Structure 1
Amino acid sequence: MRALVLTAALLATVTVAAATETGSGSPRLRPLPLPGPDTEAGLTGMTATGMVHGFVRGRGAPARAAVWRDGRLTLLERTGPSTPTAANDHDQVVGSYTRRPGEEERAVLWTGGRRVDLHPRGAFRSAAVGITDRAEVLVVSHHVSSDTLGTARRLSLWRPGGWRTLVEDGRFHDPVLGAAGDVAVLVDDRALLFPRGRGPGIRLVGLGGGAPVPMGINAGGAVLLACEDDGRGRAALWRDGGLTDLGSLGGGDTRFVGTGPRHGPWLNAAGEVTGLSETCDGRYHAFRWRRGVMTDLTPHAPYSTSYAINERGDIAGEVPVPGAAGTHALLWKRRSTTDLGAATPGNLTMPTALHPRLPQVAGTDAAPGSSATSLFTSQ
């Protein structure tokens, strides 16, 4: 099932760019600071304030959670491994950290310059995987099983003041948290939806024979599902008990592109979807699905990729440079396309994150086959 989420190239260079309206020029980029030379950087997203969140890792050192505001780097943890997974529009970041060497990771919320430990009682390992604007946090934790002979996993929703257990079973995968507190997760061979993080769970039926993988939930409670049918990817949108097949660009295979743990978002509040779909001649192109129609965003390109869609309907993606090496970052709006160019000519420039309400992107830029990293921001 996880093959339905295509993994982009390893995160290498973070780029933040403000789109120009003309689409004819490349924004000027300036470097973002790193802790030192030979540092690898990864990106997990951008918030409504323009804060970029991700990690930095020096050679031979563990990853550390970090944010960039107005071109300034802040490490969320000074020592020990730490990993961010998500953030909300109040710049609260969640993920995991380790208190001291040799210990297991613990779920954490970073807010207002302080750390809030969200490690559930009785757990030996935990990680936060999502957060809403109301500071509801989705946590995966590992516990000793009741027979003390093995381990069990638990999926819980933390709200300020208390916990709610949703799944107490070691066989769940791919949990996602929606803006309104809805939770969807794959449990054994079933996909379940917990509206507002409550109830026994509503079963989500997909397309084809297998269980669908929840990819995202919008503010209205619609759930984007990745399905598999005879080895080909299919996408569907579940709304109020009804299921809509998003179709394809003619080739019958539709998937989503992620970077590490799934990112996106591939679904916005208006019900628009972006992803990757096969054309009649076997090429894979970025698409926009809106009101029942899937549109090829680059009908003449050899290939293209889309990574995220925001509430305006802007889509961030990349296309190859004609007659040259590397790719350019693109921003598709509803009525125009902006070529953001390449952070470094000849490199693969991938805008893997998108401002939720503005035409600004964040992404990676790396020479093909190289692990060298640097960071950029637009002026």
Structure 2
Amino acid sequence: MPELRAALAVVALATALPLVSAPSAVADPEMVAVVLAGLPGYPDHVTGLNDLGQVVGSAQGPDAPPRAVLWSPRGGATDLGPGLAVEVDRHGQVLGIETRTATAPYRNKPWIWSAGTRTVVAPNTAWASAPAMNGHGAVPVRYSTSLFRQEHNRVGVWEDGRLTELSLSGPDLWVYGINDAGVVVGGYAAFATQDFAAVRCVDGACTRLGDSPGYGTYTPEGITEAGVVFGNRGTVAVRWEGVEATVLSENGRVAHGEQAFNERGDAVGWAADESGTPHAVLWPAEGKQVDLGVPAPAEAVAINERGDVVGWTAADESSTPRAFLWRAGRVTYLDPPTGHHSLPVAINDRGVVVGHTTGADSTNKATLWTPVPTTH
């Protein structure tokens, strides 16, 4: 996830395509499902959306590398160039990554696309990955200085064209999230001594967070503006306030990424019952774990600031997930316009949901579910 700071030619030549000619189906009396029309090939993967209604993902033809895509709420898909789009922020900036070589010499370059210009993140590193971006365009980076060894033992923050290294050392380091105050959450691992920790870094100085049960490495999924961290250690779901760890579930996981929690401190994911079957759950900031009442096996994958939750259930058939929206105890299923399955990825604060469905030809389709305006 080289060294190009001007607009890519492919961006300048990007063709805006209509989303759809008309809403293709009503998934529920309150939601309309629309398939996103994308670039030539298969627009088969979406990764997120913002409150402006912009969606990011990737398109890939049968014999071509993936290309990052930005879908506009007004209609149209824009080709952002080679690679995968990771996320889109509230200003419409897109964070992405391009793998140049998967074998030595390694070249993996993150980038930011903004208003038609694509800029490489941390261009002087040999290999780098960037999982998140804050509202000011600051990006936490995990990187190596060697083209021939995958020693990802350096971490820093890229902002305003400069990479500032974090005060964290070890044989294996990760960064996972950053808030608008520039506080970074990451992880440390020394497999030889079985020493593992989640860390929070403020002004470049990193502090170990409290230990939790579980085994192996910690995977913080992100950090709120108030500095609360959510993550996992194996199948133990954890929340950190300050350095203190609180176990949310000893047999479950917080969902992946920053859509897994909101600024109120609510988080979603799954927790297994006595038989080991996962159930979609909500961990409120104040209160006990809430089973969302969706037939198991099921998982919750995202929550917005209003407390709306999306997830999936595979109770009918394990290979055919069905998306759901949970709002204040009521479950609405988000079915595909055509085809067999629906799998949500994210929900914004306006209640718009993005995810994947299968079409009549069984290919994967990027799909948007939009609330129907109510009249009183």
Corresponding residue number in structure 2 for 1:361: 353
Aligned mate of 1:27, from 31, 52, 55: 31
> What is the number of equivalent residue pairs in this alignment?
338
Matched with 2:88 is 87
User: Of the candidates 48, 51, 55, which is equivalent to residue 48 of structure 1?
Assistant: 51
Q: Quote how far apart the aligned CAs of 1:103 are.
A: 8.4
Cα displacement (A) at 1:57: 0.7
Aligned partners of 1:172 and 1:187 also within 8 Å: yes
Q: What TM-score comes out, normalization by structure 2 length?
A: 0.78
Amino acid in structure 2 at the alignment position of 1:268: N
Q: Which amino acid is the alignment partner of residue 254 of structure 1?
A: G
* In 1, Cα distance between equivalents of 2:366 and 2:217: 39
1-structure distance, mates of 2:336, 2:61: 25
| Worse overlay, 318-327 or 269-278 | 318-327
Q: Residues 182 and 195 of structure 1 are in contact (CA less than 8 Å); yes or no, is this contact kept in structure 2?
A: yes
Are 1:26 and 1:341, in contact at CA under 8 Å, matched by a contact in 2? no
Matched, 1:201 2:199: no
For 2:287, which of 289, 292, 308 is the aligned residue? 292
Whole-angstrom distance in 1 between the partners of 2:343 and 2:303: 14
Distance 1:63 1:268, change over 3 A: same
Counterpart residue type for residue 374 of structure 1: K
1:139 partner letter = V
Contact 1:190 1:203 in 2 (8 A): no
1:173 matched residue in structure 2? 174
Give the gaps of 5 or more residues in structure 2: 1-18, 190-194, 371-376
Equivalent residue for 1:275, pick from 264, 269, 272: 269
User: Is contact 2:186–2:199 with CA below 8 Å preserved after alignment?
Assistant: yes
**RCO higher in 1 or 2 (8 Å CA, sep ≥ 6)?**
1
TM normalised by structure 1 equals 0.78
In 2, Cα distance between equivalents of 1:274 and 1:320:
17
Alignment root-mean-square deviation, CA: 3.4
Q: Structure 1 residues 152 and 25, CA, compared in 2 at 3 Å: closer, same or farther? A: closer
Partner of 1:135: 137
- Offset at residue 143 of structure 1 (A): 0.8
1:36 aligns with 2:40: yes
* 3-state secondary structure, aligned to 1:265: helix
User: Residues 209 and 170 of structure 1: is their aligned pair in 2 closer, same or farther, counting only changes over 3 Å?
Assistant: closer
2:168 aligned with 1:164: no
Structure 1: give runs of 5+ residues left out of the alignment.
1-13
- Give the match for residue 8 of structure 2: none
SS state of the match for residue 260, structure 2? coil
The answer on 1:118 being equivalent to 2:121 is: yes
Alpha-carbon distance, 1:172 to partner: 1.5
CA distance in 1, matches of 2:363, 2:149: 44
Change (3 A) 1:192 1:238: same
- Offset at residue 314 of structure 1 (A): 1.0
Whole-angstrom CA distance in 2 between matches of 1:218 and 1:246: 17
* Amino acid in structure 1 at the alignment position of 2:227: G
1:304-357 superposed Cα distances (whole Å, 9 cap, x missing partner): 221111111111112347699944321112243333223324x220111111x1
* Runs of 4+, deviation exceeding 6 Å: none
Match of 2:78 in 1: 74
8 Å CA contact 1:283, 1:303 repeated in 2: yes
Paired AA for residue 337 in structure 1? V
**Percent of pairs with identical residues:** 24
Is 1:65 equivalent to 2:58 in the alignment? Answer: no
Alpha carbons 2:254, 2:267 under 8 Å: kept: no
> Counterpart of 1:155 in structure 2: which amino acid?
V
C-alpha spacing 1:254/1:317, structure 2 compared with 1 (3 Å): same
CA distance in 2, matches of 1:193, 1:321: 37
State the Cα distance separating 1:29 from its structure 2 match. Answer: 2.9
Distance across 1 between alignment mates of 2:330 and 2:176: 34
State the one-letter code of the partner of 2:34: R
What is aligned with 2:226? Answer: 220
- Give the whole-Å Cα distance in 1 for the aligned partners of 2:150 and 2:268: 41
Aligned CA distance change for structure 1 residues 27 and 324 (closer, same or farther; 3 Å): farther
**Is the CA contact 1:207–1:236 (under 8 Å) kept in the aligned structure 2?**
no
- TM-aligned CA deviation for residue 99 of structure 1: 8.2
Deviations 1:235-258 (A, max 9, x none): 1211023222213xxxx521245x
Name the stretch that deviates more: 83-92 or 166-175: 166-175
Structure 1 residues 73 and 275, CA, compared in 2 at 3 Å: closer, same or farther?
same
